[in-house]
Structure 1
Amino acid sequence: MATVNKQRQVREIVRCGKDPKYFFNKYVKIQHPTRGLISFATFPFQDVCIDDFVNHRYNVILKSRQLGISTLTAAYAVWLAIFYKDKNILVIATKLSVAMNFIKKVKVALKHLPPWLVLPELSTNNKTAVEFTNGSTIKAIPTSDDAGRSEALTLLIVDEAAFVRNFDELWMGLYPTLSTGGRAIVLSTPNGVGGQYYDLYMRADAGESEFNPIKLPWHVHPERADEWFENECKNLTQQQIAQELLCDFAASGETFLLAEHIERIRQQVRNPMEKWGPEMGVWVWKYPLTDHKYIISADVARGDAGDYSAFHVIDTNESEIVAEYKGKIPPDQFAILLNEAGMRY
């Protein structure tokens, strides 16, 4: 009988190591804010996220509040650390208390796993890190100028990236740590237009980067209906609704315009007719007409890769911009690009 049980345990270990969704739903416990300790029964939208974590090296998540995504990433970190050796997992949080809360979620999951399922033992166990005898580590730290710079990472998780102080500079230091094959999960609610997180998501959504975009507004949660949304909106401002529930970049920041005015303008936005040039940086809004006259207004960068070069092609007959470019290329290449635009118009 003992042999049968041992064989069953081995089969379960192998299955859990291959299938994180099975592992989460079968064995992981989480701390629910109102129901206490419960089994982690994942929702369909969470299952899709898990598949994306496995199938895509880089993921950027635009989410509403209270969808359990931080808990999901904590469970994913546990799965990666205990079933695979030498995994270096780093979590960047907005502040120390958030980092400690992430590790707390990791510890809750670990504490309630069957002992036979966790082959490596804990070698380090403190408020911001857990290390295993198989060489894997899960560490959570608050943001700082040199956070994670000296490490070669297996998985980087950036929680609430839109609110991380100096994330633009921080990302420039963190990205090279993934060069040896590391993966990244960058997640946040929106915090207005602009910044590194906004750029990461928008470029991913446009298919212009290696990042896989995941958008999770409030209604992806199967337990939330219109009545729930209406009740939540009663207690929130328009800006908070955009930020906490709707995943709306434009209306979530500190803007002079009202949210409804921004939405009306957004309805008039259209995609460019064509993109060409370096990194598809030239956006064409209208093609040239033989009986129209055009001028090009250009601004060349300093040439040190720290500034953008840009130009606009203006239709003098209609007084409108018909093409534009913004990008970081050397001045000599910018001159070639300007010549090409001039030839076309």
Structure 2
Amino acid sequence: MDAIDVIRDSPDLSIGGVTIPREYVEEHARCAKDEWHWMTKYVKVEDKNRGLILNFEPWEHLFTLLTLYHGEKRIIILKARQVGVSWFWAAIALHIALFVPNSSILMLSKTEDDAISFKSKAMFIYRHLPEWMKQPTGKDNDSTTTFPIMESQIRSFPATEGSGRGETATLVLLDEWAFHPYAETNMTAILPTVENATIVGISTANGRGGTGKYYYETWTKAEAGNSNFVPIFLPYDVVPGRDEEFLLAVAKDMAVYKVKGEYPRTAEEAFILSGTCMFDLERLGVMPITDVFSTLMGICEIYKNPVPDHDYVAGIDTALGIAGGDFSVCQIVDVLTGEVVAKVRGRIPIEEFGPLVYQLLKSYGHPFVIVEMQFQGSIVIKALKDGNTEDTGYPVHKIYHRSKNNAGWHTNESNRNNILA
């Protein structure tokens, strides 16, 4: 007699005082072992837009996620919108809580409302399970639900600066990870106490910088094989029935570049066409990219050599040049054609950046230059004025002054709004 025969012939099963009728004992055992069977047979999801309760969709990409979950401890997911991923992980969270003793699921979302919404998906699934499968809950509020029989819990919090510190977990779900304002801080706090947990970062893209920077860098490292995270990209068309006509329909209510950012075909498209950008991304997408004609000092990119009778202007935005920090940038523009003819961009120590751009600007005849004025901007202006051993420095009248004795452009809240208006 095998194990299934024993279960089949057993009386009603009692777990912590909850009785599972004899006819469901075998099914309960199968659900505990097979998440996919449990999801496809018992999980209900909600379509709030249409006011419908639907069966869980057994889409191929969701089964792929389940396979990945069983084989990996660190997963980063870059996805299009509305591909069923949030409901999938809400179901996984509930399955663990119902069937794995002493388990703890930690969900972190970008805001408190998002945290409540993510956990509510798991509890929606719970409420629509058959009665014989349910377990009584203990503490049950917006942030925490406990299941005393299994001594398990699901907790969901906004990703504030202190979130995750000291927490232990079986599974950590980072929902819309690219939008977490303290993503790196939270990860640093979480890792020491969840070393053996599965960590899953789920998100649509949020650009390559700003709040989305840590997610983007984690993704690129994972793609390059330089991370413990395993990457998986889910484009818009992983959902059956989505095609170009679907995108055209969505575009009726959304800018084209937004459609491509929210429903990308490729990971590159997702990052380029997402995030906060004040430029017309549709125009940027069709603008020709000029090949580098030559370089100066190995780092300055020259697209077009100086033309004697052309006027040029330059802009400089500076940073400290530290690893992982912002880039310092200098661009030179041909006034006649509007083309960027030369550029230097990199995490270059500020004491090296000033002399470097001096040489680049000098090669274009000392164009009128505007330097963003912070502490490091003043270092660059000094380097320009000092010049080098071969000359007396940059012509002062060619450096933008906001007043007679104050060189450089100073961005403040007022003029920033005017610039971006």
TM-score over 0.5 for the pair: yes
The answer to whether the 8 A contact 1:239-1:253 is kept is: no
- Structure-1 residue corresponding to 2:189: 173
CA contact (8 A) 2:76 2:202 kept: yes
Residue 244 (1) aligns with residue 276 (2): no
CA contact (8 A) 2:107 2:119 kept: no
Cα offsets for 1:28-81 (capped at 9, x unmatched): 111122251122132111111122122211111101111121111100100111
Given the superposition, is the C-alpha separation of residues 85 and 224 from structure 1 closer, same or farther in structure 2, using an over 3 Å criterion? same
Report what 1:143 is aligned to: 159
Compared CA separation, residues 182 and 264, structure 1 to 2 (3 A): farther
Identity of aligned residues (%): 27
* 1:182 paired residue number: 197
Distance 1:234 1:250 in 2: 21
Contact kept? 1:64, 1:244, Cα under 8 Å = yes
Shift of 1:261: 3.9
SS at structure 1 position matched to 2:276? coil
Q: Which residue of 2 aligns with 1:129?
A: 144
| Distance in 2 between residues matched to 1:224 and 1:267, nearest whole Å | 35
Corresponding letter in the other structure for 1:192: G
Conserved? CA contact 1:128–1:140, under 8 Å: yes
Contact 2:21/2:132, CA 8 A, preserved across alignment? no
Name 1:335's counterpart in structure 2. none
Give structure 1 stretches of 5+ with no counterpart.
269-293, 310-323, 327-345
Question: Secondary structure of the equivalent of 2:273?
Answer: helix
Corresponding residue for residue 225 of structure 2 = 207
Structure 2 partner of 1:233:
251
Query: Are the equivalent residues in 2 in contact too, given 1:149–1:174 (CA < 8 A)?
Result: yes
Tell me the equivalent position of 2:96. 80
Give the letter aligned to residue 24 of structure 1.
Answer: M
Residues 1:52 and 2:75 aligned together: no
> Offset at 1:174?
2.0
- Which residue matches 2:113? 97
Relative to structure 1, is the Cα distance of residues 59 and 260 closer, same or farther in structure 2, using a 3 angstrom cutoff? farther
Residues 257 and 240 of structure 1: CA distance in aligned 2, closer, same or farther (over 3 Å) = closer
Cα deviation for residue 122 of structure 1 reads: 1.1
Q: Counterpart of 2:275?
A: 253
Q: Secondary structure at the match of 1:66?
A: coil
* Partner Cα separation in structure 1 for residue 31 and residue 226 of structure 2: 34
Tell me, in whole angstroms, the C-alpha distance in 2 between the residues paired with 1:307 and 1:136. 42
The aligned amino acid for 2:205 is: P
Cα pair 1:167 1:196 within 8 Å, conserved: yes
Deviations 1:292-326 (A, max 9, x none): xx9899xxxx9xxx8469xxxxxxxxxxxxxx999
Change in 2 beyond 3 A, CA 1:263/1:199: farther
Deviation at 1:233, TM superposition (A): 2.1
* Letter paired with 1:235: D
Partner of 1:282: none
Contact kept in structure 2, 1:250 and 1:262, CA below 8 Å: no
1:243 deviates by 2.1
Over alpha carbons, which structure has the higher Rg?
2
Partner of 1:280: none
Rate the CA distance shift 1:80–1:267 in 2: closer, same or farther, 3 A. farther
Post-superposition, which runs of at least 4 consecutive aligned residues in structure 1 deviate over 6 A?
263-268, 294-297
> Could you tell me whether the CA contact under 8 Å between 1:162 and 1:191 is conserved in 2?
yes
Asked whether the equivalents of residues 92 and 143 of structure 1 are also in contact (C-alpha less than 8 Å), the reply is yes
Q: Deviations over 1:160-216 (max 9, x none)?
A: 11111122222221222321x111111111011131111111111122112111111
The within-5 A match list for 1:215-226 is 215-226=233-244
CA distance in 1, matches of 2:181, 2:281: 26
Q: CA deviation at 1:106?
A: 1.2
Task: Give the direction of change, closer, same or farther, for the CA distance of 1:265–1:10 in structure 2 (3 Å limit).
Answer: farther
Q: How far, CA to CA, are the matches of 2:46 and 2:162 in structure 1?
A: 32
User: Is the CA contact 1:95–1:142 (under 8 Å) kept in the aligned structure 2?
Assistant: yes
- Normalised TM-score (structure 2): 0.60
Post-superposition offset of 1:90: 0.6
Change (3 A) 1:115 1:243: same
Higher relative contact order (CA 8 A, sep 6+): 1
Work out whether residues 261 and 272 of structure 2, in 8 Å CA contact, stay in contact via their aligned partners in 1: no
- What corresponds to 2:206 in structure 1? 191
1:279 match: none
- Distance, in Å, in 2 between the alignment partners of 1:23 and 1:267 is 54
Match of 2:39 among 12, 24, 28: 24
Asked whether the 8 Å contact 2:164–2:186 carries over to 1, the reply is: no
Compute the displacement of 1:15 (Å).
1.3
**Letter of the aligned partner of 1:45 in structure 2?**
H
> What is the aligned-residue RMSD (CA, Å)?
3.1
Count how many residue pairs are aligned between Structure 1 and Structure 2. Answer: 280
CA 1:41–1:8: 2 relative to 1, 3 Å: farther
146-155 or 168-177, which deviates more: 168-177
Q: Could you tell me the TM-score, scaled by structure 1's length?
A: 0.72
Q: Secondary structure in 1 aligned to 2:63?
A: helix
